[in-house]
Amino acid sequence: MPTTTRRAVFTGLGVLSPIGCDAASFWSSLRAGRSGIRTVQQFDASDLYCHMAGEIPDFDAKKIVPKEHRKRLNQMGRAVQLGFAGAALAWENAKGPLKGQIDPFRYGVEFACMMVATELEDLVRASKTSVNCAPGAISLEVWGRDGIQQIPPQWMLKYLPNMPACHASILVDAQGPNNSITSGDVAGLLALGEAFRAMQRNLADAFLVGGCESKINPLSFTRHNTFQPLSRQNDEPSKALRPFDAARAGTVLGEGAAVASLEELEFAKGRGATILGELVSFAAGFDRGKKGPVFAGVIRNALKQAGITPAQVDHVNAAASGSRELDAFEARAIHEVFGAEVPVFAPRGHFGNLGAASGTMELVASLLALQHGEQPGTLNHETPDPACPVRVHTGEPRRVMNPYVVKLSYTDMGQCAAVVVRRWDGE
């Protein structure tokens, strides 16, 4: 175990995902092998080469956030609303609201989020003003004089990546450490690691830590279709994202939010909180060449800080997204540390690549696995690839055999992170 006397435990979860908008339904879908990847419904994407995504049907933040905070939803884009609603769920799930039980200056917020794509209705009037001046032309003079006046005054505040952390801190009156991490897919674990380190340094007693993102927006979705290697298996969306599989042919975008209440152990015990698991270590690094050795070193650092060996790990929770290159990169790092002995679980086949929300969402899947004593199977891994020498668990849930899980995240630039979590056994 770590040598620090301050330990961090999970006491609440807020989940909004394509396969369930609470922890119970999320877990039920994982266990049953259900996919939330389907043809996009929010807008007509049929002209794009990839027109499927992990979409949350009928999301309405007004049904989730406390009544006194609902007016502020008008100041939030969809991704920010997801993060705010996820924070409200985690706060409530942590068995009340910590107001009155914690010094606000000892309560922090760490959130992962990327720049949020503008909703078209916020720009359409301004755009029409500047394009109607002459056929096929755009007048910047008209735009500057008349068009910009049509943009809502608080337009920018709806889409800044620090807004989820800001709104969450107002919700729970958290006046302590507050930061927003914008490092893409790895941002969720980096946010968790930063909260963990701050808690170990005695700078806070509790945090809300989460990630949120929605890429299902006409502007964002079109851009990713242009620049990202997305799957084109539109005829069977539920099988399109194939982690580590020999036939993998690209990723699938998604949306969601996953937020956790993280508390110092003695503080959590003192207020009678229900403990869901323990965060025991965090490590990060940069594998510039994306070959695997540096990533493997990050994993070893996380294990060393946790004071455990690879044999004590029940499973590795991988970030595999169906990329030919990146799945192989992650698999090499896993194999270097664990060989092919430790089972690997790659949950993105259920809900897609959630970007900044991926790390925390996937971690929640393993926290629930430790709680329930069984690990779900990975979807759509049918044919092993020699370039990915790992033992991917598929099919029916397997019994959890060991108390530790290693969760991995990384970006396509080589930033990588690992955390170790432990099943809570009362001590």
Question: Which residues, 6 or more positions from 285, have their beta carbon under 8 angstroms from its beta carbon?
Answer: 294, 295, 297, 298, 301, 415, 416, 417
Range(s) of the domain holding residue 265: 8-119+155-270
Determine the average pLDDT of the residues in 311-327.
97
Q: With a cut of 50, say whether residue 2 has pLDDT above it.
A: no
Final residue before a domain boundary, out of 225, 247, 270: 270
Residue 145 shares a structural domain with residue 170? no
In a domain, residue 306? The reply is: yes
Selected residue with higher pLDDT from 192 and 133: 192
DSSP string, 153-182: TTTGGGT-TTHHHHHHHHHHT--S-EEEE-
Determine the average pLDDT of the residues in 65-80.
92
Fill in the amino acid letter for 205: D
What CATH number is given to the structural domain containing 246? Answer: 3.40.47.10
Spatial separation of the C-alpha atoms in residues 52 and 81, rounded to whole Å: 22
Spatial separation of the C-alpha atoms in residues 2 and 306, rounded to whole Å: 5
How open is the CA angle 137-139-142, to the nearest 5 degrees? 140
Fill in the amino acid letter for 90: A
Identify the pLDDT of residue 277.
98
Residue 263 shares a structural domain with residue 295? no
Handedness of CA 249, 348, 325, 218 (dihedral sign): positive
Residue 97 shares a structural domain with residue 239? yes
Half-sphere exposure in the Cβ direction for 31 (13 Å, CA): 14
Determine the average pLDDT of the residues in 148-170.
88
Beta bridge partners of 180: 111
68: how many CB neighbours lie within 10 A of its CB? Answer: 8
**b/e map 393-403, b = 16+ CB within 10 Å:** bbeebbebeeb
Helical residues (DSSP H) of 68-123, grouped into ranges:
78-93
Residue 286 shares a structural domain with residue 266? no
Find the largest Cα–Cα distance for the chain.
72
Residue 212 shares a structural domain with residue 94? yes
In a domain, residue 2? The reply is: no
Final residue before a domain boundary, out of 225, 246, 270: 270
Tens of pLDDT, residue by residue over 122-136, are 777 778 777 766 666
Q: With a cut of 50, say whether residue 293 has pLDDT above it.
A: yes
Identify the pLDDT of residue 245.
98
In a domain, residue 166? The reply is: yes
Residue 357 shares a structural domain with residue 394? yes
Q: What total of structural domains would you count in the chain?
A: 3
Identify the pLDDT of residue 120.
76
Final residue before a domain boundary, out of 251, 270, 289: 270
In a domain, residue 208? The reply is: yes
From residue 54, alpha-carbon distances to 58, 348, 351 in Å are 13, 9, 5
In a domain, residue 313? The reply is: yes
Residue 140 shares a structural domain with residue 166? no
Residue 42 shares a structural domain with residue 136? no
How open is the CA angle 423-27-193, to the nearest 5 degrees? 50
Residue 262 shares a structural domain with residue 136? no
Average pLDDT of the chain to the nearest whole number: 93
End-to-end, the C-alpha distance of the chain in Å comes to 12
Beta bridge partners of 9: 263, 278
Determine the average pLDDT of the residues in 203-212.
97
Determine the average pLDDT of the residues in 100-120.
88
Residue 110 shares a structural domain with residue 216? yes
Tens of pLDDT, residue by residue over 389-404, are 999 999 999 999 999 9
DSSP 8-state class, residue 75: G
Half-sphere exposure in the Cβ direction for 42 (13 Å, CA): 21
Q: How confident is the model at residue 146 (pLDDT cuts 50, 70, 90)?
A: confident
Tens of pLDDT, residue by residue over 243-266, are 999 999 999 999 999 999 999 999
Helix 187-200 × helix 358-372 angle, to 10°: 70
In a domain, residue 196? The reply is: yes
Fill in the amino acid letter for 89: L
In a domain, residue 20? The reply is: yes
Residue 320 shares a structural domain with residue 238? no
Determine the average pLDDT of the residues in 101-106.
90
Tens of pLDDT, residue by residue over 339-365, are 999 999 999 999 999 999 999 999 999
Residue 136 shares a structural domain with residue 257? no
Identify the pLDDT of residue 130.
76
Tens of pLDDT, residue by residue over 5-40, are 899 999 999 999 999 999 999 999 999 999 999 999
In a domain, residue 303? The reply is: yes
Percentage of the chain exceeding pLDDT 90: 81
